[in-house]
Amino acid sequence: MSPLEFAHPKATHTAPLGSARVAYWLVRSSRRSIGLEVSDSGLTVRAPLRASMANIEAVLQEKARWVLTKLGERETRNQQVPQIAWQHGAYLPYLGGVLQLHLHPAAPRGGELLTVGEQRWALHVNLPTDAAGASVRAQVNAWWLRHARAVFTERLQRFAPELGVQWRSLRLSNARTRWGSAKVDGGIMLNWRLLHFRLPVLDYVVIHELSHLRVMDHSPRFWAVVASACPDYARLRAELRQHPVPDWVI
């Protein structure tokens, strides 16, 4: 039986861990200790500039069971990620419901979103019904980004006064493992994939990042600020972590 293999797309080194071979990304910096991080991309090892490979490999062997468990969980999670068929009639999860793609040359060039039922929408895209998948994805992506910015802006404006903060700018992100961030200057980053989730889940992330404009850590004081505008934040946070979002690749 061939060994299990896990590979980070930026892998620089490979190590045998148990019955598996793990290709990992080694990042050196001025940090003081060796740290291991497993994300959707794979294993990243962060090490001091002067750490020897022998020390790094010793830490990997010591933490081998933990690494393999996390990598296995990542593999299972990735296998559960729904795929999008970029064609006429395809479905995408949208705000907790379903959005169906309709391709036809008479559709508005920027795309048009129509409500067709409870938690059901149709997105009309200016393309022939037999358009190539890459073209469909490109047009839907352009509409999605514009729409995400509009929805996020409306929700930021809705909750900022309630939290007593002012946000200054909005940036959209495509990160695989981070849903948002906030800077002390009022800059907010939100992941455009949040449009796949129910509005209460999206609102939790918006409130979370706005709350950082009052408290920049995750102390009890921070969570009290979040709870003041989103009392059900714990359940919504769990929902955000548990539901896989579709893969947008062709």
| pLDDT tens per residue, range 175-198 | 766 899 999 999 999 999 999 999
Q: Do 25 and 12 meet the contact criterion of CB atoms below 8 Å apart? A: yes
pLDDT tens digits for range 195-234: 999 999 999 999 999 999 999 999 999 999 999 999 999 9
pLDDT tens digits for range 85-134: 899 999 999 999 999 999 999 999 889 999 988 899 999 999 999 999 99
- Spans of all domains in the chain: 4-79, 91-242
**Which candidate, 117, 83, 34, places its Cα nearest to that of 250?**
83
Confidence of residue 242 (pLDDT cuts 50, 70, 90): confident
The residue ranges of DSSP E strands in the chain, in sequence order, are 4-7, 13-17, 20-29, 35-39, 42-48, 91-94, 97-103, 112-117, 120-125, 169-173, 180-182, 187-191
For the segment 237-244, the average pLDDT, to the nearest whole number, is 83
Our CA angle for 124, 128, 133, nearest 5°, is: 85
Residue 143's alpha-carbon distances to 53, 68, 110, 146, 194, in angstroms, are: 47, 39, 7, 5, 15
Neighbour-count burial of 37, counting CB atoms closer than 10 A to its CB (0-12 exposed, 13-18 middle, 19+ buried):
middle
Backbone φ, ψ for residue 92 (5° rounding)? -130, 140
Give me the pLDDT at residue 1, please: 34
Give me the pLDDT at residue 175, please: 77
pLDDT tens digits for range 40-85: 778 999 999 999 999 999 999 999 999 999 888 777 666 555 678 8
Give me the pLDDT at residue 2, please: 42
Q: What CA–CA distance (Å, rounded) separates 194 from 222?
A: 22
pLDDT tens digits for range 140-184: 999 999 999 999 999 999 999 999 999 999 999 987 668 999 999
Is residue 3 predicted with pLDDT exceeding 60?
A: no
Label the pairing between strands 97-103 and 112-117: unpaired
Give me the pLDDT at residue 174, please: 85
Label the pairing between strands 91-94 and 97-103: antiparallel
CA dihedral (157, 162, 164, 165) positive or negative: negative
91-242 fold: Zincin-like (3.30.2010)
pLDDT tens digits for range 7-34: 898 999 999 998 899 999 999 999 999 9
